[in-house]
Amino acid sequence: MKRRKFLTKAALATAGVSSLVACASKEESSKGPYINFNNTYRWKMTTTWPPNFPVVGEGCKHLAGWVKEMSGGRMEITVYGGGELIPALEGFDAVSNGAVEMNHGAAYYWAGKVPAAQFFAAVPFGMNASQMGSWIISGGGSQLWEELYEPFNITPILCGNTGIQMGGWYNKEINSIADLQGLKMRIPGLGGKVLAKAGGTPVLVSGGEIYTNLERGVIDATEWIGPFHDYLMGFHEVAKHYYYPGWHEPGAALEMVISKPKFDALPSDLKEIIRTACYRLNRWMGAEFDARNGVYLKKIMEETEVSVKPFPKEVLEPLKGFAKEALRELTEQDPQSKKVFDAFNVFRENVGGWMNVSERIYYESLM
């Protein structure tokens, strides 16, 4: 009976869509959409990434090209790497005060201004890239995100994901949780809070400063992204212990933040072009990371003297406990964080049930 009702509804829906399409086609053929080709827009996009940085910075330039092409040249976006127009970690303020129209980065960089923003980047031992995207796009996350940034006159759009990252580069072996005590590590966001609970010192520096700081001993360890970028950054030259998995960033989402007044003032077609370009970059970036990380992990393992190994359980299990503590403290202190994390958790529990009987079982069967 239920199946018959479902098929009947599906048939009616299909017929309804066909009718609407036919009506729309007749209307468009007579009137056509209104596009004012005399209005052109010249926008600036800053980023938190070093200039011309592969994949993430490169992707921003792709996005600018896609927008220009889809808009027929009506919108041109000039992309600036971190430090070229403004300091790398000042993009949020620059967009908020209208100095630039767009900034590409990661939401955890603004934790000092908006603590709850961190949930839209990466949560230690949280959701992977696919699950983060599903939550933001189809699980109500985007509405919470927009609500969170509205007081700053900013519209956020999901615009990339690094996938699960590596656990980082260390100048010594990490065999127990005690080995993290006193460790100075470049690690942002909630991951840094967890490290601090383990006795380490989190340090936030932009990507362009990491190598020098690691080489000179300003920091003892760093996380960055994954094998492809880590190899290009040359971290294997100054640290010999490379750990996985990236418990701190199991699926790091990236964002495009846009001046809300300027975005709202755009014609409707240009708004949709920008959103579509952001979603295209989101998918392209994930594909690039998957394609390149495998190749460069092999290069690191075969061409260098770096020790590539997993964190022991003696390290991961305590870190999980510290992560729960850090999240509990944050949500108790900040009502916005509690609201967002509650929604995050509901979605994670629901999608987790499905993943347990699908992807988890599949991957375990391959081992």
User: Could you tell me the pTM of the whole model?
Assistant: 0.88
Rounded distance between C-alpha atoms, residue 223 and residue 235, angstroms: 10
Structure tokens at 327: 């999240």
Domain 168-249+305-366 has CATH 3.40.190.10: yes
DSSP sequence for 265-332? TS-HHHHHHHHHHHHHHHHHHHHHHHHHHHHHHHHHHHHS--EEEEPPHHHHHHHHHHHHHHHHHHHH
Rounded distance between C-alpha atoms, residue 136 and residue 144, angstroms: 9
Rounded distance between C-alpha atoms, residue 350 and residue 347, angstroms: 5
- Sorted by where each begins, the domain ranges of the chain are 41-160+251-290, 168-249+305-366
Beta bridge partners of residue 168, listed in sequence order? 243
Closest CA to 309 of 168, 215, 164: 168
Structure tokens at 36: 């004012």
**What is the enclosing helix (H) or strand (E) of 214?**
helix 210-215
Rounded distance between C-alpha atoms, residue 88 and residue 74, angstroms: 28
Quick one: how far is CA 344 from the chain centroid?
Answer: 15
- Do the domains spanning 41-160+251-290 and 168-249+305-366 agree at the CATH topology level? yes
HSE at residue 239, side-chain half, CA atoms within 13 A, is: 32
Closest CA to 132 of 153, 173, 161, 102: 161
DSSP sequence for 40-51? -EEEEEEESSPT
The CATH class given to the 41-160+251-290 domain equals alpha beta
**pLDDT tens over the chain, length 367 residues:** 555 654 455 555 545 544 544 554 444 444 555 566 778 999 999 999 989 899 999 999 999 999 999 999 999 999 999 999 999 999 999 999 999 999 999 999 999 999 999 999 999 999 999 999 999 999 999 999 999 999 999 999 999 999 999 999 999 999 999 999 999 999 988 999 999 999 999 998 877 789 999 999 999 999 999 999 999 999 999 999 999 999 999 999 999 999 999 999 999 999 999 999 999 999 999 999 999 999 999 999 999 999 999 999 999 999 999 999 999 999 999 999 999 999 999 999 999 998 889 988 888 888 7
User: Both ends of the chain: CA-CA distance in Å?
Assistant: 42
